[in-house]
Structure 1
Amino acid sequence: MAGLDAAGEARHAPRPKLFLSYTRADIEQAGKLREILEARGFEVWWDQLLEGGVNYLPTTEAALEGADCVVVLWTRLSVDSSWVRDEAQRGRERGCLVPVTLDGTMSPLGFRQIQILDMSEWSGASDAPEIAKLVKAINGQVAASQGDNGKAAPTIAPGAGSPVAAASAHKGLSRRALMTAGAGVLGAGAVIAAWQQGLFDIGEGDGSLSMAVLRFANLTGGEDQVWFSDGLSNELRQALSRNPRLRVSAPTSSNASQGEDDFAVGLALGVTSILRGNVQQVDQTVRIYAELLEVDGGLVQWSESYDRDFSDVLAVQKEIAETVALSLVARIASDRAARSSVEQQDDVGGTENVRAFEAYLRGQSLYALGSGEEVKRSALDQFDAAIGFDPEYAAAHARRANTLAAIANTASDPAEVGRLFARSIEAAERAIEIAPDYAQGHLALGYVLNFGKIDRAGAYPHYKRAEELAPGDADTMRSIATFYAFGNQQALAMQMIERVLELDPLNALAFRSAGFVALFAGAFDQAIAYMEKALELNPSLANSFYAIGVARLSLGDLGGARAAFEAEAIDLFALPGLAITRRKLGDDAGANEAFTALLADYGDTGLYQQAQVLAQWGENERALEVLTRAFDAGDPGVLLTTNDPLLDPLRTEPGLDRLLLRLSS
């Protein structure tokens, strides 16, 4: 009887209201659509008297503001109509716009972040596929607009195999049916409440769903406020990436196509859902809007607006992450599995102090600029401020360690370098002491021990622990794969980097890392392919041509190797390659010229590169002498010694074995 009562309530619920925006020249097609949508259960408002240049009539404005969904019909004529643009603008502002193109015309600038429904091939039939897609899109917006106010979006009677029909064949509600049949667009509280009350009940499942967290728009105004909107979206991404049921695209790829259509970005990333939103801060009030959408079809799966005091921003962030995860995991897993997956999102290493969080986000924004010691020291000041607000903020200690190591890498005074690395180790150890299960703390300590102290043995357990703690974080896995590739775990490194590329397919740095992993695994053709992809994404990416040169040299392509080294922008890597290839091609004078330039320009900071050249020239004894000096000086280049193809002529030398023992001891 309960099901019958619900059906009766749906029949007598007010019909969802649509506002149809069009230009008078398209009235014939607009009229057909209105008739079809009315027949599908919508109340469609339109105005056949609209003329360009006339102010909004009160009735028109009331209809626009009261609509559950605004459907705009774009054509080559309507894009120039101030009426249509104004109405579409209001629909976009209210978050209830469904754009349609009747003749293939693109949405005008300012509206292209919303996927447009192409009806240019529509036959005019009421049962055409375009109509089904339109109804689906409208239902999604109606559900998002109405929330829990009692109205039900009209639905087409389900067929025998549809999720709704399947749900009705069982007692209660299946979670899959609830989330995919239109009832899935719930407010945050409704989703969490349904989950907690056990309304979702399907099998355990062992799958995962793919998604991307796009960069949240900054509506506060001014580039100096982007740190907060960017930081919020990055923190949400981090939380969701900890959910074992979700495959979350990495930040670089998710932000790679700013200005392009969001759905095009989703397609390029190969994900099924995108989370996007905007952030506005006015004094101490934060307004956050977030929505989760299907990439295929643009259906709104969930949306919510939050107006909170700034002190509540951490709670809002947690609520959004939990709700999004439940909205997605609900499709593939049981109540127990969903609960478990969301619990694994719980923040590790975080803070409850909003001022500490604010300083941390400012520091993250500065650190990401990646330009010069001064900026890095400004970032360090912010992380120090965060720790001042909350001394137990493990994430801030870990980022402090990263920043100190980055500053050390730019310093020239050996004593200062040593002090900076020592402080970096201290900060990373403090992060781990506070939060032993914080992956970034272990990664920070592993990095500084490996690159700062040339202590692979000491670094290994921390890289391994980070791998266990953050298997869904592409940036973390990229660092770990590179570390493994430098040692004796090339096969594992290759597996990991392939996973990284799945999560980060638009990141040139990810492909460059993959190129080096393949190079050190002896997969030279694959290394070239990865590096060429990296250069396609970023033509000025340093070291990429160098790696191509080494790979081509290893394959016996001397001319191709020389061309690659000539294209390398960083002389520290170009000059050794040129010295090697020119000598092998019979140009002794050119080879000596390149080697002399390497010595003059870099001196002892290029000891490792000198050893590479000498090994390839066949001067093994001299190469081992210089390589030993590089080890004694703590040259980070020596970390490549185990698998560097350029040192292969030394593999049978006992002296090399003794040096390799120093890396593993």
Structure 2
Amino acid sequence: MIGETDAEGGTPRKVFLSYARADVEAARKVVALLEGGGFDVWWDGLIEGGATYQQKIEEALDSADCVVVLWSTSSVDSHWVRDEAESGRERHRLVPLSLDGTMPPLGFRQVQMIDVSRWNGRPNAPEAERILLSVSAQCSGKLDEPHHPVATAPLRHGVSRRALIAGVVGMAGVAALGAWQAGLFPIGDSDSSRISMAVLPFANLSGDEDQAWFSSGLSNELRAVLSRNPRLRVSAPTTSNALDEEGADEFAEAKRLGVDNILRGSVQLAGETMRISAEVVQISDGLVRWADTFDRALTDIFELQSDIARTVALSLIQQIASEEEARESLAEQQQVGGTDDVAAYEAYLRGHAFYDLSAGVESDRAALAQFDAAIVADPAYAAAHAMRATMLAAVANATTDASEIARFYDQSIAAAQRSIELEPRLAIGHLALGFALNNGRLDRKRARPHYEKARELAPQDADILRSAAIFFGFGPETKLARQMIDDAIALDPLNARAYRTAGYVAYMAHDYPLVISRMEEALALNPKLASAYNAIGAALYAQGRYDKAIAAFEAEPVAIFKHTGLAITKAAMGDKAGGETALQAVVDEYGDAATYQQAQIFAQWGDGDTAMEKLEQAVAGRDPGVLLALNDPMLEPLRGRPDFARLLRRLTS
């Protein structure tokens, strides 16, 4: 059973079931499932004749560990159901199910819903196991709020084939690592002698398209292992995946990008065995530098990983080193912050797939739900806590309610601290904590050592370099930021976001021609990239090229940046009315969430007092926009003011 008792293992967890009378048959199925899973379920079918209806409901709600609500076309119009669901939501103990695909009413859509419209009522169906896992997570109170029902692959007795494919990551990573440590790549002592390589997504040969997302997880884990090797320069995911696009000539593209080698392979299941094939190919002449195939029984995936790791290390590395040195070198290359729980690992890879999708707040919340699930399965999974912190910050950034933003950032900080507590060597944990402290608390002083630590722990991680470059570029260390973002671009030359970061680092250094060229490179890779045209417009404005600046701001897809740029530039051109109209658009659409942009406008309009008033409001509201204030060219008219100098000291002390 799935976590059905309290912490002492005694009394069953209490579940309150809320539903509309028209859905009573569906409710009976849910009751049967939960009771079969060991939960103590209260529903109105238990009320005896003559009992005080409202009193019984209130008593049951107050004593419930969580509330399961069945949304349907009938229940969304029920005031009873809404009130009962509200009780669960306020306590962060709500598990919403949709019986017929109906969306929850407004106010209840922040919690991820499980669609059970196709559930056949059987307790061994995937929907049933998701319900049980979600209810267990919410009733147990193991997670920091906000809790999300867990739409993950179900926990199983034994090991699922999909989980086994996920677990193969470690096995293939060790195989590739063995190739490096066996001396198949030339080694040198200087940075210029590092060997460059790209890890392509492994092909899924299992005949099940639903397993295709494991290819991304496999390649990401391989990169994580190999990038820890100081002798390798491993291309980041965006660039590596581009080499594997359908119709691409991977050799020609790799040569163009300066990649010396590619690692590619496949995964195939056949009955109760698994076959992993991998090879390292030298791009210059197509020579296969290393290749191997591993066939193993599908028993315990983590024991299998250990067996393959020992086999590769002892059979390859001993050719050039002692057995002791082989074992030590293998230990140094292992991932940190991981898990030995199959379900936790599978949920983590699913979460990363949503994170990579980056399709907005819905995919962010879906990723968060998966990382929550990973933590439920393994509370000591440091990497899952770090990614949970990352997604909580992403949700905070997409929220407009100030109190909600603060709450999400508080939770992000707590999750990141927990990840570091579990594994101090985890770079993504330090990065998540640095970001949450900097953007959520405006605490640059406390954030700095975590950005430095992340960079120290993962000097070959393009995403960490890019994030750190933003932090240092918005402060006094623009030269350091330029070096980091140049390194990130070298690792990930097909990533539009890397060029956009380079453009903003250049903007903070007041290098306006470089801003324009970097942003044009970013737009060539992604014509719809947010805020790139805004930076071009700001650079053109700083050069006095107002007509072209207007055109750039008009092309910006993000309204707050578009209207801010137009307000500043139109006023500079003498169109005061046009500038005021654009300012009003900023106020109308964003209100207090745009106090920093309003400060930029008033500073450029020459109204320093109002600009300072808006900046103080931005600081009080923890508007992350004020992080730009240290170098922002738009605030140059304020640089001589003592009150502005005091505000900057507060931001950096």
Question: Normalised by the shorter chain, which TM-score bucket?
Answer: 0.5 to 0.7
SS in 2 for 1:230: helix
| 1:495 has 2:499 as partner | no
Alpha-carbon distance in structure 1 between the residues aligned to 2:176 and 2:528: 49
Tell me which of 612, 633, 647 is aligned to 2:621. Answer: 633
| 1:307 has 2:291 as partner | no
More displaced 10-residue stretch of structure 1: 387-396 or 623-632: 387-396
SS in 1 for 2:334: coil
| 1:215 has 2:204 as partner | no
User: CA, structure 1 residues 583+217, in 2 after alignment: closer, same or farther (shift >3 Å)?
Assistant: same
Equivalent in the alignment of 2:547: 559
Tell me which of 221, 233, 255 is aligned to 2:219. Answer: 233
Alpha-carbon distance in structure 2 between the residues aligned to 1:218 and 1:245: 29
Amino acid in structure 2 at the alignment position of 1:434? L
- CA contact 1:286–1:313 (8 Å) conserved in 2: no
Equivalent in the alignment of 1:76: none
| 1:246 has 2:232 as partner | yes
Tell me which of 511, 514, 517 is aligned to 2:505. Answer: 517
User: CA, structure 1 residues 431+649, in 2 after alignment: closer, same or farther (shift >3 Å)?
Assistant: same
Alpha-carbon distance in structure 2 between the residues aligned to 1:211 and 1:508: 20
| 1:423 has 2:407 as partner | no
Tell me which of 243, 252, 269 is aligned to 2:257. Answer: 269
Q: Deviations over 1:23-81 (max 9, x none)?
A: xxxxxxxxxxxxxxxxxxxxxxxxxxxxxxxxxxxxxxxxxxxxxxxxxxxxxxxxxxx
Q: Deviations over 1:618-665 (max 9, x none)?
A: 111111111111111111101111011111111111111121122112
| 1:528 has 2:512 as partner | no
Equivalent in the alignment of 1:467: 455
User: CA, structure 1 residues 467+341, in 2 after alignment: closer, same or farther (shift >3 Å)?
Assistant: farther
User: CA, structure 1 residues 334+201, in 2 after alignment: closer, same or farther (shift >3 Å)?
Assistant: farther
SS in 2 for 1:352: coil
Alpha-carbon distance in structure 1 between the residues aligned to 2:482 and 2:310: 31
Amino acid in structure 2 at the alignment position of 1:306? F
Alpha-carbon distance in structure 2 between the residues aligned to 1:269 and 1:318: 36
Equivalent in the alignment of 2:590: 602
Alpha-carbon distance in structure 2 between the residues aligned to 1:193 and 1:597: 59
User: CA, structure 1 residues 597+318, in 2 after alignment: closer, same or farther (shift >3 Å)?
Assistant: farther
Alpha-carbon offset, residue 368 of structure 1: 1.9
| 1:547 has 2:535 as partner | yes
- CA contact 1:191–1:327 (8 Å) conserved in 2: no
Equivalent in the alignment of 1:480: 468
1:159-558 correspondence to structure 2 within 5 Å: 205-206=189-190, 207-257=193-243, 258-259=245-246, 260-281=248-269, 285-308=273-296, 309=298, 311-312=300-301, 316=305, 343-558=331-546
- CA contact 1:243–1:342 (8 Å) conserved in 2: no
Q: Deviations over 1:486-521 (max 9, x none)?
A: 111111001111111110101101100111011111
Amino acid in structure 2 at the alignment position of 1:248? V
Alpha-carbon offset, residue 414 of structure 1: 2.6
Alpha-carbon offset, residue 280 of structure 1: 3.2
- CA contact 1:240–1:321 (8 Å) conserved in 2: no
Q: Deviations over 1:189-246 (max 9, x none)?
A: 89959968xx999987343110011122222345432221210110000110110000
Alpha-carbon distance in structure 2 between the residues aligned to 1:190 and 1:370: 29
Alpha-carbon distance in structure 2 between the residues aligned to 1:299 and 1:477: 32
Alpha-carbon distance in structure 2 between the residues aligned to 1:477 and 1:401: 18
Alpha-carbon distance in structure 1 between the residues aligned to 2:332 and 2:175: 20
- CA contact 1:463–1:480 (8 Å) conserved in 2: yes
- CA contact 1:482–1:517 (8 Å) conserved in 2: yes
SS in 1 for 2:277: strand
Alpha-carbon offset, residue 604 of structure 1: 1.1
Unpaired runs of at least 5, structure 1:
1-186
Alpha-carbon distance in structure 2 between the residues aligned to 1:194 and 1:367: 30
Alpha-carbon distance in structure 2 between the residues aligned to 1:269 and 1:202: 20
- CA contact 1:188–1:323 (8 Å) conserved in 2: yes
TM-score, normalising length: structure 1? 0.66
User: CA, structure 1 residues 618+346, in 2 after alignment: closer, same or farther (shift >3 Å)?
Assistant: same
More displaced 10-residue stretch of structure 1: 337-346 or 292-301: 337-346
TM-score, normalising length: structure 2? 0.67
- CA contact 2:179–2:316 (8 Å) conserved in 1: no
Alpha-carbon offset, residue 616 of structure 1: 0.8
Alpha-carbon distance in structure 1 between the residues aligned to 2:310 and 2:540: 46
Alpha-carbon offset, residue 447 of structure 1: 0.9
Q: Deviations over 1:140-159 (max 9, x none)?
A: xxxxxxxxxxxxxxxxxxxx
Unpaired runs of at least 5, structure 2:
1-172
SS in 2 for 1:406: helix
Alpha-carbon offset, residue 337 of structure 1: 10
Alpha-carbon distance in structure 2 between the residues aligned to 1:563 and 1:440: 39
SS in 2 for 1:255: helix
User: CA, structure 1 residues 598+413, in 2 after alignment: closer, same or farther (shift >3 Å)?
Assistant: closer
Count of paired positions: 476
Alpha-carbon distance in structure 1 between the residues aligned to 2:330 and 2:390: 28
- CA contact 2:402–2:621 (8 Å) conserved in 1: no
Name the larger-Rg structure. 1
- CA contact 1:202–1:334 (8 Å) conserved in 2: no
1:85-104 correspondence to structure 2 within 5 Å: none
Amino acid in structure 2 at the alignment position of 1:606? A
Alpha-carbon offset, residue 343 of structure 1: 5.0
Amino acid in structure 2 at the alignment position of 1:535? L
Alpha-carbon offset, residue 544 of structure 1: 0.3
- CA contact 2:400–2:593 (8 Å) conserved in 1: no
Alpha-carbon distance in structure 1 between the residues aligned to 2:458 and 2:555: 37
1:110-189 correspondence to structure 2 within 5 Å: none
Alpha-carbon distance in structure 2 between the residues aligned to 1:190 and 1:559: 54
Equivalent in the alignment of 2:639: 651
User: Identity percentage over the alignment?
Assistant: 51
Alpha-carbon distance in structure 1 between the residues aligned to 2:558 and 2:179: 57
Alpha-carbon offset, residue 439 of structure 1: 0.6
Alpha-carbon distance in structure 1 between the residues aligned to 2:179 and 2:253: 32
Q: Deviations over 1:415-448 (max 9, x none)?
A: 3322222221111111101111111110011111
Amino acid in structure 2 at the alignment position of 1:233? S
SS in 2 for 1:256: helix
Amino acid in structure 1 at the alignment position of 2:636? D
Alpha-carbon distance in structure 2 between the residues aligned to 1:515 and 1:494: 10
Alpha-carbon distance in structure 1 between the residues aligned to 2:307 and 2:567: 56
Alpha-carbon offset, residue 287 of structure 1: 2.9
Alpha-carbon distance in structure 2 between the residues aligned to 1:297 and 1:522: 44
Alpha-carbon distance in structure 2 between the residues aligned to 1:563 and 1:238: 42
1:584-623 correspondence to structure 2 within 5 Å: 584-623=572-611
Alpha-carbon offset, residue 301 of structure 1: 1.0
- CA contact 2:200–2:240 (8 Å) conserved in 1: yes
User: CA, structure 1 residues 543+203, in 2 after alignment: closer, same or farther (shift >3 Å)?
Assistant: closer
